[in-house]
Amino acid sequence: MCGIVGYIGPKQAAPLLLEALEKLEYRGYDSAGLAILGGNGLSVCKAKGRLSVLFDWTEGGATMPGTAGIGHTRWATHGEPSDVNSHPHLSHSGRVAVVHNGIVENYAELREFLTEHGYEFQSDTDTEIVAQLVDFYYHGDPVKAVRDAESLLSGSYALGIAFAAHPDLLIAVRKDSPLILGLGEGENFIASDIPALLKHTREIVRLDERELAVLTRAGVSVYDRFGDPVEKAPEHIAWDVSAAEKGGYAHFMLKEIMEQPTAIRNTISPRIKDGEIDLGLVHITEEVIRAIDKINIVACGSASYVGMTSQYMLSKMLHVPVTVELASEFRYSDPVVDEKTLTIVISQSGETLDTLFALREAKRRGAHIISVVNVVGSAIANESEDVLYTWAGPEIAVATTKAYSTQLAVMYLIALHFARLRGTLSDAALSEAVAALEALPALVEEMLGKREQMQYLASLFFNLRDIFFIGRNIDYALCLEGSLKLKEISYIHSEAYAAGELKHGTISLIEPGTLVIALCTHAPLREKMVSNIREVKARGAVVIAFTDENDASVPAVADHVIALPSCAPLVLPSMPLIPLQLFAYYVALLKGCDIDKPRNLAKSVTVE
Ligand code: AGP
- Structural domain count of the chain: 3
- Summarised one tens digit per residue, pLDDT across range 13-31 is 999 999 999 988 877 788 9
pLDDT for 22:
92
Q: Which of 408, 438, 468 is the last residue of a domain?
A: 438
CB 598 within 8 A of CB 492: no
On the question of pLDDT at 606 being above 80, the answer is no
Say whether both 150 and 24 belong to one domain. yes
On the question of pLDDT at 264 being above 80, the answer is yes
Say whether both 430 and 515 belong to one domain. no
On the question of pLDDT at 608 being above 70, the answer is no
Say whether both 406 and 543 belong to one domain. no
CA–centroid distance, residue 348 to ligand 1 (Å):
7
Q: Which of 190, 212, 238 is the last residue of a domain?
A: 238
Find out whether the beta carbon of 564 lies less than 6 Å from any atom of ligand 1. no
Residue 339 falls inside a structural domain: yes
Q: Which atom of ligand 1 is least distant from the CA of 348?
A: 14
Q: How far is CA 487 from CA 267, 356, 358, 505, 585, in A?
A: 28, 26, 26, 21, 10
Per DSSP, the three-state class of 512 is: coil
Find out whether the beta carbon of 349 lies less than 6 Å from any atom of ligand 1. yes
CA–centroid distance, residue 303 to ligand 1 (Å):
6
Residue 41: left (phi > 0), alpha (psi -120 to 50), or beta?
Answer: left
CA–centroid distance, residue 302 to ligand 1 (Å):
5
Say whether both 393 and 453 belong to one domain. no
pLDDT for 506:
87
Residue 607 falls inside a structural domain: no
SS3 letters across 534-577: HHHHHCCCEEEEEEECCCCCCCCCCCEEEEECCCCHHHCCHHHH
- Summarised one tens digit per residue, pLDDT across range 51-60 is 999 999 999 9
What's the rounded mean pLDDT across residues 432-442? 96
Say whether both 178 and 294 belong to one domain. no
Q: Output the domain CATH number for residue 205.
A: 3.60.20.10
pLDDT for 604:
74
Find out whether the beta carbon of 490 lies less than 6 Å from any atom of ligand 1. no
pLDDT for 600:
87
d(CA 304, CA 307): 5
* pLDDT confidence band for 337 (50 / 70 / 90): very high
Residue 601 falls inside a structural domain: no
The verdict on whether 487 is a catalytic residue reads no
Which has the closest alpha carbon to 521: 560, 473, 485, 487?
473
CA–centroid distance, residue 489 to ligand 1 (Å):
13
On the question of pLDDT at 336 being above 70, the answer is yes
Q: At what angle do helices 402-422 and 301-318 cross, to 10 degrees?
A: 20
- Summarised one tens digit per residue, pLDDT across range 398-423 is 999 999 999 999 999 999 999 999 99
pLDDT for 378:
85
What is the strand order of the sheet 220-223 is part of? 89-90, 96-104, 155-163, 170-175, 212-215, 220-223, 229-230
Residue 600 falls inside a structural domain: no
* pLDDT confidence band for 2 (50 / 70 / 90): confident
d(CA 357, CA 469): 31
* pLDDT confidence band for 245 (50 / 70 / 90): confident
Say whether both 232 and 312 belong to one domain. no
Nearest-5° angle of CA 472, CA 474, CA 477?
90
Find out whether the beta carbon of 488 lies less than 6 Å from any atom of ligand 1. yes
Residue type, 44: V
Annotated catalytic residue, options 2, 45, 479, 567? 2
pLDDT for 110:
96
CA–centroid distance, residue 372 to ligand 1 (Å):
13
Find out whether the beta carbon of 381 lies less than 6 Å from any atom of ligand 1. no
Residue 602 falls inside a structural domain: no
On the question of pLDDT at 1 being above 70, the answer is no
On the question of pLDDT at 184 being above 90, the answer is yes
Say whether both 197 and 228 belong to one domain. yes
* pLDDT confidence band for 393 (50 / 70 / 90): confident
The verdict on whether 603 is a catalytic residue reads yes
Among 24-28, 250-254, 377-381, 388-392, the minimum mean pLDDT is found in: 24-28
Nearest-5° angle of CA 585, CA 586, CA 587?
95
What's the rounded mean pLDDT across residues 517-542? 97
* pLDDT confidence band for 247 (50 / 70 / 90): confident
pLDDT for 78:
84
- What is the average pLDDT score of the chain? 94
What's the rounded mean pLDDT across residues 515-536? 97
* Atom 10 of ligand 1: nearest residue by CA position: 301
Find out whether the beta carbon of 605 lies less than 6 Å from any atom of ligand 1. yes
Q: Output the domain CATH number for residue 568.
A: 3.40.50.10490
Q: Which of 438, 459, 493 is the last residue of a domain?
A: 438
Say whether both 325 and 227 belong to one domain. no
CA neighbours closer than 13 Å in the CB half-sphere of residue 316:
11
What's the rounded mean pLDDT across residues 207-226? 96
Say whether both 364 and 219 belong to one domain. no
Say whether both 380 and 231 belong to one domain. no
CB-based contacts of 442: which residues, under 8 Å, 6+ apart?
261
d(CA 403, CA 302): 9
State what percent of residues in the chain have pLDDT above 70.
99
CB 252 within 8 A of CB 400: no
Residue 399 falls inside a structural domain: yes
Say whether both 380 and 410 belong to one domain. yes
Q: Are strands 170-175 and 3-8 parallel, antiparallel or unpaired?
A: unpaired
pLDDT for 583:
98
SS3 letters across 442-489: HHHHHHHCCHHHHHHHHHHHCCCCEEEEEECCHHHHHHHHHHHHHHHH
Provide the terminal-to-terminal Cα distance of the chain, rounded to the nearest Å.
29
pLDDT for 159:
97
Q: Which atom of ligand 1 is least distant from the CA of 605?
A: 10
Q: Are strands 542-548 and 560-564 parallel, antiparallel or unpaired?
A: parallel
Find out whether the beta carbon of 300 lies less than 6 Å from any atom of ligand 1. yes
Residue 319 falls inside a structural domain: yes
Q: Which atom of ligand 1 is least distant from the CA of 352?
A: 16
* Atom 9 of ligand 1: nearest residue by CA position: 301
Q: Which domain covers residue 550, as residue numbers?
A: 448-593
* pLDDT confidence band for 315 (50 / 70 / 90): very high
Main-chain dihedrals φ then ψ at residue 180, nearest 5 degrees: -125, 165
SS3 letters across 315-364: HHHHCCCEEEEEHHHHCCCCCCCCCCEEEEEEECCCCCHHHHHHHHHHHH
Residue 195 falls inside a structural domain: yes
Say whether both 341 and 473 belong to one domain. no
* pLDDT confidence band for 294 (50 / 70 / 90): very high
CB 257 within 8 A of CB 581: yes
Main-chain dihedrals φ then ψ at residue 309, nearest 5 degrees: -65, -40
Rg (CA), the chain: 25
CA–centroid distance, residue 592 to ligand 1 (Å):
23
CB-based contacts of 140: which residues, under 8 Å, 6+ apart?
none
Pocket of ligand 1, candidates 309, 345, 348: which has the most ligand atoms within 8 Å of its Cβ, to mutate?
Answer: 348
d(CA 521, CA 318): 22
